[in-house]
A and B are shown apart, each in its own frame.
Chain A
Amino acid sequence: MATLTDSLVKFAGAHGASGYEDTVRALIIREFQKLTDTVDITPLGSVIGVKRAGGTRARRPSRRASATNAPRLLVEAHMDEIGLVVTEIRDGFIRFEEIGYWDPRVLPSQNVWVHGRKTLPGVIGSRPPHVLTAKERKHALTLDDLFIDVGMTDARARELVSPGDMITLDRAVIPLQNEMCAGKAFDNRASVVALLEFLKQLQNSAPAWDIYAVANVNEEDSPFYVGAQTAAYAIQPQLALCLDVTHAQQAGLNDEALPQTGQGPCIARGANIHPVVFEKLRQTAQRHALSHQITVYGGNTETNAWMMQTTGNGIPTGLVEIPLRYMHSAVETLALSDIQGAAQLLSAFAMNLNAADARALQGETFTRKAARQKRGARKNAARRTQRQR
């Protein structure tokens, strides 16, 4: 678990809100270069690392997306995190808007980084209780009440910070009891860590399919999942797996239907998930005695899986989730064992894939001509047997 913690510290500690993924992308490219045969960047900034079927061969970077005829497995995680963006500087203080889906109630008194011409530490200001009326203290804070203090004069702040600059949380990973951790951006760097761990576990093996590991941009900021959609379109895989986090049982919720942290990754089921993919994931977990949980979604899973499924001619899609408490806050909390479990499930799944699986996922085709030929062939065969009698 120690290396997993290091990896989580590294990737959750990197800063990259949707649209501002450069730093995170650079880290991921470096890892992909060690673990895959080719690394490509899509026009929108997603990273695609390809590990060729039959094991790692030459490390020569290739611009060609597909050099083998093996079926393609896409495994993706989004690399962006929710963040904030500078809109205005007044008297040295900074106003901001949200990138992604925040509850502003988790923002007051948080330490942040303002990524201007320099990376500046700051704090989201809150007013002292001494000066507030009882009524004011009952008013849940909204973005209109919040501002960032970088401890600078107006002139200095304007010199270093501009509207449009990214702001992210300043929060190191906190080790909790039972190999749990709390921190920022576990949504979805925990999945990035699992994706890299998955590639590491495949290092000395030779899967029958080409493995396309993808770190996607722009999941948090748009309902269109543009990173995942465009990367999946470029790859046109026979099967796509999405790795993301999901809500776990946690303080403030009394819902035993939710998965629990530390009980293994969740395999999602529902309209967004191809039934064969779900079944195969579950069987893989059972066969390898991997602890796992099932999450159920009637419709939208609100992950990249939702858009990948309808990309191109449609892609059989699965979803593996890491249970997370307090999502979209500076204290997202998870169990390291669930990251490990997700990686194990994925690598076992990838190793088990064969040509028959590709055929099973192909769907069905009917043409009158083919049917006639088939019928004809059957008749001929029947005649032959009659004659033989």
Chain B
Amino acid sequence: MLLEKLSNARGVSGDESAVRALIAAHLQKHVDEYRVDALGNILAVKRASKRGARAPFRILVAAHMDEVGFLITHIDRDGLLRFEKIGGIDDRILPAQTVLIGAQAVPGVIGLKPRHLSTESERKQVVAADALRIDLGASGRADAQRVITPGAYATFATQFSTFGDNCARGKALDDRAGCALLCELVRENFPFDLYAVFTTQEEIGLRGARVAGHAVAPNAALVLEATICDDASIRSRARAAQSFPPRAQAPITQLGAGPALTLADRRLLAHKGLTRAIAETARAEKIPFQYKQPLVGSTDAGILHRVRGGVPSAVLSVPARYIHSPAAVISLDDFQNALKLARAALPKFADALDA
């Protein structure tokens, strides 16, 4: 499964080459041309299957290749590695995780000192990432330097697996799920020019998309993402009871309820015409979908919609629980429905803009 390979591939923002190689190999079979730009974005084109009388309509469909992870900043004298987080990672999920470092995928672990040796008050404190170390089993700095140099990137070491009721568990599903959807879409023939754009550096500020959008100058853009899903009603026993009145915690999206359509997020007011076209297509084709709770998160569309003179943009996402963690969870039903919906809705974009 391509999704599995993409999830296991390692590509922190700024170091996307392994993911890029995987995607490029796939694109060679399906697109007319592609190029890799100065930021490492892949800009692939699949031309319209039938050319109409009017000028070709260009739709940019984007998914980002990069994932959250770590950068090794220093090797301590005792051979332990200091690191910096790349992208939004909650410090609280780091203890007892395993990572793979550098191109050679050297395994390391993030240890927390045992409970036996911690005080009661220490156990109530979050250990900040800069106080944690990656342990390679190296005997000292020189020993660690044999296999690692500062500047090496590290990712979570989780391997993708399917589980439960047609769910998948893996790292980097944000946004390899989107990459996998886009890789599926390029197999199709569309009546418009499809610019399949695999972007870099999304997690550190939507940087790849800025230049990719500029270069393509599309008529419309669709971003394929994995988005926040906080639907575990069970999530906090203690604090639900503490706060009075109980604070309503919105789930943002629901797992298994279909792909999520963005109305607005922190950086985007989605184009109404495109969003309506997607929703109407879903209803007509009986594909389940949901609206993502507005004003949370942001995607490459946050930059794509304002390149050059502006680009009408929409976002379609696969809900992912525990996003930015070593083990995100998606529903493969949502994934398939996202693919169906994108495939059916994209040909309607041109008319939606005319209307």
Residues on A close to B: CB < 8 A?
90-91, 93, 95, 101-103, 105-111, 120-123, 125-132, 137-142, 144-145, 147, 149-153, 156, 171, 174-178, 180, 182, 247, 250-253, 262, 302, 325-331, 333, 335
- 10 A-B pairs, CB-CB below 8 angstroms? A103-B112, A105-B123, A106-B96, A120-B163, A126-B322, A145-B237, A151-B165, A177-B138, A251-B133, A252-B127
Which chain A residues border B135 with CB–CB below 8 Å? 176, 182, 250-251, 325-326, 331, 333
Which chain B residues border A93 with CB–CB below 8 Å? 232-234
Q: Which of A153, A174, A251, A333 contacts B132 (CB 8 A)?
A: A251
Which B151-165 residues sit within 8 Å CB-CB of chain A?
157-158, 161, 163-165
Give Cα A139–Cα B161 distance, bound, in whole angstroms: 30
Least distance between B321 CB and chain A CB atoms (Å):
6
State whether B109 touches A177 (Cβ < 8 A): no
State whether A253 touches B113 (Cβ < 8 A): yes
State whether A126 touches B133 (Cβ < 8 A): no
Which chain A residues border B125 with CB–CB below 8 Å? 140
Give Cα A101–Cα B157 distance, bound, in whole angstroms: 26
Which chain B residues border A171 with CB–CB below 8 Å? 98
State whether B112 touches A91 (Cβ < 8 A): no
| A126-B109 contact in complex given A105-B127, A326-B114, C-beta closer than 8 Å | no
Q: Which among A151, A178, A326 has the greatest number of chain B C-beta atoms within 10 A?
A: A151
Least distance between A225 CB and chain B CB atoms (Å):
16
Contact indicator per residue, chain B 296-340, by CB within 8 Å of chain A (1) or not (0): 110000000000000000000000011111110101000000000
| A331-B98 contact in complex given A128-B323, A147-B235, A252-B133, C-beta closer than 8 Å | yes
Q: Which of B92, B124, B228, B237 contacts A144 (CB 8 A)?
A: B237
Q: Which of B138, B296, B325 contacts A131 (CB 8 A)?
A: B296
| Partner-binding segment picked from B20-28, B83-91, B204-212 | B83-91
Which chain B residues border A129 with CB–CB below 8 Å? 88-90, 324
Which chain B residues border A144 with CB–CB below 8 Å? 236-239
State whether A106 touches B116 (Cβ < 8 A): no
Give Cα A180–Cα B229 distance, bound, in whole angstroms: 38
Which chain B residues border A138 with CB–CB below 8 Å? 126
Which chain B residues border A149 with CB–CB below 8 Å? 164, 232, 321-322, 329
State whether A151 touches B91 (Cβ < 8 A): no
State whether A126 touches B136 (Cβ < 8 A): no
Contact indicator per residue, chain B 88-127, by CB within 8 Å of chain A (1) or not (0): 1111110111100000001111111111111000011111
Asked if B167 is an interface residue, CB under 8 A from chain A, the answer is: yes
Q: Which of A102, A152, A178, A330 contacts B137 (CB 8 A)?
A: A178
Give Cα A152–Cα B166 distance, bound, in whole angstroms: 9
State whether A105 touches B234 (Cβ < 8 A): no
State whether A130 touches B323 (Cβ < 8 A): yes
Minimum CB distance partner of A179 in chain B: B137
| A329-B165 contact in complex given A147-B235, A252-B131, C-beta closer than 8 Å | no
Which chain B residues border A333 with CB–CB below 8 Å? 109, 111, 135, 137
Give Cα A107–Cα B327 distance, bound, in whole angstroms: 12
Which chain B residues border A121 with CB–CB below 8 Å? 161, 163-164, 169
Minimum CB distance partner of A328 in chain B: B114
Least distance between B276 CB and chain A CB atoms (Å):
26
State whether B232 touches A140 (Cβ < 8 A): no
State whether A90 touches B234 (Cβ < 8 A): yes
Give Cα A252–Cα B113 distance, bound, in whole angstroms: 6
